[in-house]
Amino acid sequence: MRKGNGKAFLILILLVAIVVLFFMSFVNFKKSPEEEATETVHKFYQFEQDGAFSHSWELFHPLMQKKFEKGYYIQDRAHVFMNHFGVQSYTYSLSGPTEVQDWSMESGAEVIERLYKFEIAKTYKGKYGNFTIVQDVYATELEDGWRVLWDYNK
DSSP 69: -
CB pairs under 8 A, 24+ apart, for 65-68? none
DSSP for 83-144, please give it.
Answer: IIS--S-EEEEEPPPEEEEEEESSTTSPEEEEEEEEEEEEEEEETTEEEEEEEEEEEEEETT
**How many Å separate Cα 65 from the centre of its chain?**
15
DSSP 44: H
Taking a C-beta distance cutoff of 8 angstroms, is the pair 147, 40 a contact? Answer: yes
Query: What pLDDT sits at residue 82?
Result: 74
Residue extents of the structural domains in the chain? 31-150
| pLDDT single digits (tens) 60-92 | 999 999 999 999 999 998 888 777 778 877 899
Query: What is the distance between the alpha carbons of residues 22 and 100, in angstroms, rounded to a whole number?
Result: 34
Residue 5 has pLDDT above 80, yes or no: no
If you average pLDDT over residues 127-147, what whole number do you get? 94
Query: What pLDDT sits at residue 146?
Result: 98
| Confidence grade of residue 3 (pLDDT, cut at 50, 70, 90) | low
| Confidence grade of residue 17 (pLDDT, cut at 50, 70, 90) | confident
**Fold of the 31-150 domain:** Nuclear Transport Factor 2; Chain: A, (3.10.450)
Query: What is the distance between the alpha carbons of residues 72 and 144, in angstroms, rounded to a whole number?
Result: 24
Query: What pLDDT sits at residue 1?
Result: 46
Taking a C-beta distance cutoff of 8 angstroms, is the pair 94, 120 a contact? Answer: yes
Residue 139 has pLDDT above 80, yes or no: yes
If you average pLDDT over residues 130-139, what whole number do you get? 95
